[in-house]
Structure 1
Amino acid sequence: MKDLNDNLESPFKLLVSFNKLLKHYEALAESDDEFIVAKARRVLKTADAFPILRDGFSDVSILKEREKEIGIILQDSFSPVLTKNEIKTASVPIHNLIFNSSERFKNIIKEAGDDFQLKIKNMPEDDKYIIACTIVLAFCYGFDINFKRPFYYEIPNAKGIMQYYKILYNADFTEIIPTKNAPKITQNDVDELLDNFDNIELWKEKFPKDSYTFKGFVISNVFNVTDDQSISNIKTALIGEEKRQNEGFMNDFHKIFQSLLGLKNIKVGFSIYNEEEDRFERVYGAEMNSFLLNDLESNSCSGTLCSMSYRTLLKDKKFYSVSDVDKYYELSKGKAPQYKTLKEQHIKSAIFAPIANEKELLGILEIVSEEPKVLNSINANKLNDVMSFIVTAVERSKNEEENLIEAIIQTECTSIHPSVHWRFKKEAKNFIKEQLKGNEPNFNKIAFENIYPLFGQIDIKGSSEARNSATRKDLSIQLTAIKSIVTNALQIENLPIYEQFLYQISTYLEGLESNFQVDSEQQISAFIKHDIDPVLNHLRVIGALKDKVQNYFNSIDNKVEGLYLHRKNYDDTIALINKEMAALLDKKQVDAQEMYPHYFERFKTDGVEHNMYIGESITKEDSFNPIYLYNLRLWQLQVMVEMENAFYLMQKSFPVSLDVASMILVFNQPLSISFRMDEKQFDVDGTYNARYEIVKKRVDKAYIKGTTERVTQKGKISIVYSQKQDEIEYLRYIKFLQSKKYLDDDMEIVELQDLQAVTGLKAIRVSVLYHKENNDKDFYTYDDLMKEIKV
């Protein structure tokens, strides 16, 4: 390069000049300080001998010819006292040429090697032109376009480890002068440029090549920011899923940590912690490795770490370092699994850092080296600055994996109801279209407006009491069996502890009969597990009690860790009821959909409840008429009656005798629903509509006003509503079903006590008439049916 402007496309014509600096010395020459005056005059005398130093030049050879004079002029800016400490250069902007520098900068470049070429790292060629234009706008026209970006050098040190240097420019000694070819820039021009950053041709039109003269030089103060930049690079590397899948990701990651720790030959690995199984698992991805697992896909934590390292990493969540693997391998006699695994991989030192948030351990960051002592407990502390970014990335990856798993489950195991499938399909198509156009796609909200809800449930009455009763019976049988064994043991071994256990067992048995509490089951189970089981295991070796103890253990269910007889009968009964009621409802729904398409969903709890939504926006067609709503309401009432009949016909086959009560909730006003992506179900929209959800959750526990009687009763169907027109409508349906001998003649209308935030509810209650058999033409009341069943 002979001229600074060779092969340089820029609005600037560059001239190195010390004119503005020399003007500063002219002012200093008038100082009262004799020393300052003498020095200023010396600088000015040197410059006066070579006017080109003030006028400016672009011939690179002059920098060499006048090197001595330039050194004198810049002596104050490059203090000899600080030259081995400061990292400083003199240059021209948007150019890699440096014509003066401190000794420390020269040494840094020397260590980088003969083939190293200094270049500003993050300045694309097009950006150089635009940066120059923004400088012109500020200097010549007063438009301060904030395009300041931090610029860096990447320079390897003597060990080959990349170091990062931030550049700060001082432009106090520069002049920018428009040439006759420079177009006048107006506010309109600036406004246009603000919206066209990427239009390089527009910038070149407003600021033609060489239309301004840059006269002067810039001083660059350079700072080693390797630690900060390494942290930033780690953060950047962890941001995108795609980056983590790239082939070169781990190689780049190794280099980043090499810079952070100042060590050349180190490698980085990861292992994921599976809390449920207390295992370490391999991270899947391009070139991902785990030095704790070596060739294994996963391994138990106890099989991977010794007890001390296990406690440090998993319990205390602190760094665990091994400065000399061979030394500790010998000390542990090869029994500590982590030393054995590391030694097999020729690793000599290592740092293991727990990737943990406040709630849980997510995994382990593994940094290893084939050199001893280079990784240790001291430099492990440098990881404190980056662990938060790694934790965030692992949390995100964990969430992404869980979401992917959920997506697969939803795809393979869950289907969208056919009535609304068309809407999801439409949005999925829009999503794909936007993706193919290169846009950022969003799955738009799935919502349906102006639709009518229907809700019904057949609920098991007294389910909590039934389960408590089953629990009491199981615990009583189990404690009685234990009491018998301990009594025999006391006769064989007269130990006071047996007497204490017998007293505790008797206390629990009395409590089960008289005062069964919510936590009684947990207390007794804990007592048996921690106090009794060890004793029984001891008694197994006593010949006289061996068979009796073994028979006791044979009666215990391993899954629930207790006697599971009456509770199993209860659980089986609930499962059978839910299965049969849900199957009947699903079968009836097929016919209902043929009458008019609508949304339907059901849930199994202690019984079966269902939601239905009907309206124009769901069917997609201009066909909805209120008659379809009325028809669906009548259908629902009929099906509830049939479910009641079906339940009592099969009640005799249930292990436990339970009753059910049925309820329908009527909501007269249309509402809006939307699909909640997080819960994969539809919910109502809006504050007013939320009242419907509140009533659904609370109404079956409501009392009749002025009484302690629940609105839902066995043998009756309760229809809850708030509007007079709903009452008139359902009285018609009830009268019709009474004529068909589905319902009894004991219909009553009751007012309900106010619920929280809900007032004015009423209910129609009417008894169901039951068939003794499926083809039976006789009809029974609930009491009649119970008499028949007991016979």
Structure 2
Amino acid sequence: MPSEDQSNQNQVFRSRLSFLPLLNQWNKLIQVQTDGKGKIYRDLSDLVSLHPELLQPIDNFYLLKSHRNVIDLMMTTVFPVAVKNEEQLYAVSVPFSNKVVYASSLFSEMFLDEKSNICNLDSYEKSGVGIKECIAYTVILERFYGIKLKGKINSVYSYNDKKKKHTNFYSIHFDPQFIEVHTTSKLPEIPEDFFKTLHYIKDINNQPGLSSLLPLEQFEFEGMTILHLDDVTEHELLRTVQNSLLAPDVFTDKSNFNRLCQELSQLLHTQEINIGFLSFLQSHIISGNSNNVTSLVLKSIRHDEERPGFYSQLKEAFIKNNSQPLFITSNTDEKAKHFPFTKNPDIARFRMLSFFPLKDGKEITGALEIFSVDENFYSSSFHSGIDSVCNLLQLALKKSTEQSNNEINKIIKEQFTAVQSSVEWRFVQAATNFLARHNKGEEVKMEPIVFEQVFPLYGAIDIRNSSGERNNAIQQDLVEQLKTVREIVTSAESYMTYPLLREIISRIDVYTESVTNFLFTDDEQKVHFFLREEAEELLLHLKETIPDLAKRIDEYFSSIDPRLHVFNKNKTHRASSASPSD
């Protein structure tokens, strides 16, 4: 009978702790290694043989306590002394269980409860189900069918560090080399189609019929799982920040911007800071909407007419400082005398004011503001993360600027006919003023455009809004194509359980939303790349694995332009309607 400590095991998996796979590995090494290493394995094998209870599958974990010294010696062959230090995170667990039988000191301190069960790793049991299946079928396929799959079994988990008051992320590598599998059932032959698509461990998720062909209830697993943990916090936080910056309203929606600031604080390894963001490219828009201002300094400036002076002053300071960060230590610093805003009550409370330039090539396009009441909040970890943060913000600034420019262009197209390039600046100015007043909540009308004492030297005609109609046609085609791909992938989910399908659907939803309102150049390019490189490959794979979808997939490919790989029905219709008739 398994002890109560094993009651939390997933009932699908029949597994037991056993050191026999490790001993079997020793015996193989003893046969081929005649030097000192072989003698070490032989001595250890002789030592373990003095304890017959360790040579059998173990259900009573209290047995481990009385043999702790022997087990510690055994584990030196799994975890070499070179990696056994206080900074390492590793453990040995019962297969498919959160029961740990051996662990590094740091692993025990961070992740084990009083019964040596893994805890504090968010959704360890829940998200581990797919991982467990991958481990199980990796072992089964190699043991009974000779299929050795490539790749590693990894999964990322979050850990709430209560001492440091933030969340870390760890990638766990599950090593199944010491797991053996047995069955009393007669196993079927694997169809040849399986061999065509089974090359990597991740391919297991592509086999919807595998669980029916080889039900896990037919197998019993004995051995131990090796766990290695790597800190991937910075990588995951960068990914999180990137996702947050994809939100079109990240700089205008207060809750989204506050969440972004929290993520940036953690990425910079400090919570004792206030973060602001300033754009030199959109000063006319940002300064006109005090409710959505993301700059700490601009929030402290009460009068709109004072803001342009701050922009030019800060940009000039960056240029004089060779585009290096600007640091102002409290309002008594000599530099503070040159910046009137440091006397504002909302700013004067900070002891350290830091401005990091955002650059597009050599052009300074904005600034990241980091203010703190502590002059010494900087650390080596902070400096290692600030470059990544600034690079991400610069990309977001570029996208945000393009969005604002498109809003201005949209207003111009709605309010005016074709605009000649020589006077375009005046229409941009009027549209900018219109947008700024609109953002303040005012009821506004477009100001009249008048050029006193200006006489045109030539005239021209244009099909009104032709470029806008073209963009609308492209938008409609992209949305329709994304919708078609989504329908096919959604249908595929009813045939197979594959996490990638759900991820693809989520991405399609994001892409659809991004191209529905305004069609930005970078969004159009991303969608085209996705449809051409990823969606087509996935659909061809689904056509082979799910014959029922073959007809719909063929219809999809017959509907796309073979050269551009996109729908062009609406674009073609627009072009024909705009052409002069005979």
TM-score range (shorter-chain normalised) is 0.5 to 0.7
CA distance 1:608–1:352, shift in 2 (3 Å): closer
Q: Report the Cα offset of residue 413 of structure 1.
A: 4.8
Contact 2:161 2:168 (C-alpha < 8 Å) held by counterparts: yes
Within the candidate set 156, 174, 181, 2:179 is matched to 174
* Structure 1 residue 223 corresponds to structure 2 residue 230: yes
Query: Between the two proteins, what is the percent identity of the paired residues?
Result: 17
1:189-210 residue CA offsets vs partner (Å, 9 max, x unmatched):
688999995998x654344343
Aligned match for 1:348, one of 340, 346, 351: 351
Q: Indicate how the Cα distance of structure 1 residues 392 and 308 shifts in structure 2: closer, same or farther if over 3 A, else same.
A: closer
Distance 1:75 1:310 in 2: 61
CA separation of 1:169 and 1:345: change in aligned 2, threshold 3 A:
farther
Report 1:193-592 matches (<5 A): 204-241=211-248, 249-274=256-281, 289-296=294-301, 300=306, 303-304=309-310, 307=313, 310-312=316-318, 316-322=322-328, 324-328=329-333, 331=334, 336-341=339-344, 344=347, 346-358=349-361, 360-375=363-378, 379-380=382-383, 382-411=385-414, 413=416, 571-572=454-455, 574=456
- Indicate the residue corresponding to 2:526 in structure 1: none
Q: Structure 1: how far apart are the matches of 2:251 and 2:186?
A: 50
More helix by share: 2
Choose between structure 1 and 2 for higher RCO, CA contacts under 8 A separated by at least 6 residues.
Answer: 2
Partners of 1:162 and 1:64 in 2: CA distance: 33
Deviations 1:243-272 (A, max 9, x none): 778775445434433333222323332222
CA shift, 1:10, in A, is 6.4
What's the CA shift for 1:171?
Answer: 2.9
Q: 1:44 to 1:126 in 2, by over 3 A?
A: closer
How has the CA–CA distance of structure 1 residues 284 and 167 changed in structure 2, closer, same or farther, with 3 Å as cutoff? farther
Query: In structure 1, what is the equivalent of residue 446 of structure 2?
Result: none
Verify the 8 A CA contact 2:301 2:341 in the aligned structure 1: no
Alpha-carbon distance in 2 for matches of 1:251, 1:226: 20
Could you list the per-position Cα deviations for residues 642-669 of structure 1 after superposition, in whole angstroms to 9, with x for gaps in the alignment?
A: xxxxxxxxxxxxxxxxxxxxxxxxxxxx
SS at match of 1:172: coil
The counterpart of 2:459, out of the listed 586, 595, 607, is 607
In structure 1, C-alpha distance between the alignment counterparts of 2:91 and 2:415, rounded to whole Å: 64
Please say if residues 182 and 211 of structure 1, whose CA atoms lie closer than 8 Å, have aligned partners that are also in contact: no
Which runs of 5 or more residues in structure 1 are unaligned? 416-566, 575-604, 613-673, 693-725, 727-791
- The alpha-carbon distance between structure 1 residues 178 and 378, as it changes in their structure 2 partners (threshold 3 A), is closer
Contact 2:111 2:121 in 1 (8 A): no
Measured against aligned partners, the alpha-carbon deviations of 1:538-582 in whole angstroms (never above 9, x if no partner) come to xxxxxxxxxxxxxxxxxxxxxxxxxxxxx976x33x3xxxxxxxx
Q: 1:338 to 1:265 in 2, by over 3 A?
A: same
2:236 is paired with a residue whose SS is: helix
The letter of the residue matching 1:234 is V
Contact 2:140 2:181 in 1 (8 A): no
Cα distance 1:229–1:568, how it changes in 2: closer, same or farther (>3 A)?
A: closer
User: 1:365-404, CA deviations, whole angstroms, 9 ceiling, x for partnerless residues?
Assistant: 2223332220489944631123222211221222223223
Deviations 1:16-70 (A, max 9, x none): 2222221232345464435x45532442234223445343234444444543332
Instruction: Give the structure 2 partner of residue 48 of structure 1.
Output: 49
Q: Which residue is 2:486 aligned to?
A: none
* Secondary structure of the corresponding residue to residue 76 of structure 1: coil
Number of matched pairs: 433
Report how far residue 291 of structure 1 moved: 1.5
* 1:21 alignment partner in structure 2: 22
Native 8 Å contact 1:351 1:375 kept in 2: no
The residue that corresponds to 2:159 in the other structure is 154
- In terms of fraction of residues, the more strand-rich structure is 1
Q: Which residue of 1 aligns with 2:488?
A: none
2: CA distance, partners of 1:67 / 1:120? 29
Query: Residue type matched to 1:159 in 2?
Result: K
Relative to structure 1, the CA distance from residue 182 to residue 89 in structure 2 (aligned partners, 3 Å threshold; closer, same or farther) is same
User: Take 2:67 and 2:347, find their aligned partners in 1: how far apart are those partners?
Assistant: 62
Q: Report what 2:523 is aligned to.
A: none
Unmatched tracts of structure 2, length 5 or more: 419-450, 465-567
Give 2:56's aligned amino acid: D
SS in 2 for 1:119: coil
TM-score (norm 1): 0.46
Amino acid at match of 1:236: N
After alignment, is 331-340 or 379-388 more displaced?
Answer: 331-340
Cα pair distance change 1:683/1:2, threshold 3 Å: same
- 1:96 is matched with which residue? 98
**1:154 and 1:164 in contact (8 A); partners too:** yes
**Are 1:270 and 1:283, in contact at CA under 8 Å, matched by a contact in 2?**
no
In structure 1, the partner of 2:435 is none
Cα distance per residue 1:139-162 (max 9 Å; x no partner): 343174878554345352732233
CA contact 2:93–2:224 (8 Å) conserved in 1: yes
Deviation at 1:357, TM superposition (A): 1.0
Choose 1 or 2 for highest CA Rg: 1
Counterpart AA for 2:14? K
CA contact (8 A) 2:301 2:307 kept: no
Instruction: Find the aligned partners of 1:403 and 1:675 in 2 and give their Cα distance.
Output: 25
1:241 aligned counterpart, secondary structure = coil
TM-score (normalised: structure 2): 0.60
SS at match of 1:234: helix
